């Protein structure tokens, strides 16, 4: 494999790391992306004498997993932000009730 091509892919993945910070390994385990994790994944592919096609497929899978996880995180964050804060709502209702009781005395 062309060294420049490999280096470009590694740098792309490290850029993704800066943006997202997580990925799924080949066993589906969610990991934090570190240079060591990425290099070990790439070294595993190289040591298995993966063809360029296989290497590209694995890199694509890795990127796709990262994007999928990012989408899931965005959905989870949106869902959490849209939840009604019931504790805040209850405390607001209690304070309104207390003010009404004081005013009606």
The per-residue pLDDT for 57 is: 73
Model confidence, pTM: 0.33
CA distance 18 to 24: 16
In contact, 63 and 13? CB cutoff 8 Å = yes
The per-residue pLDDT for 12 is: 65
Which pLDDT tens digits describe the chain residue by residue (105 residues)? 455 666 666 666 655 555 555 656 667 666 666 666 666 766 776 666 656 676 677 777 777 776 676 666 666 666 656 555 566 666 667 777 777 777 776
């Amino acid at each position: 494999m062309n060294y420049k091509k490999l280096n470009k892919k590694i740098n792309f993945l490290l850029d993704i790391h800066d943006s997202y910070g997580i990925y799924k390994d080949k066993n589906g385990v969610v990991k934090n992306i570190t240079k060591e994790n990425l290099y070990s994944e790439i070294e595993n592919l190289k040591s298995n004498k993966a063809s360029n096609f296989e290497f590209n497929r694995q890199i694509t899978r890795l990127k796709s997993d990262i994007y999928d996880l990012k989408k899931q995180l965005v959905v989870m964050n949106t869902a959490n932000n849209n939840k009604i804060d019931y504790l805040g709502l209850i405390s607001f209702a209690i304070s309104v009730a207390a003010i009404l009781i004081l005013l009606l005395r």
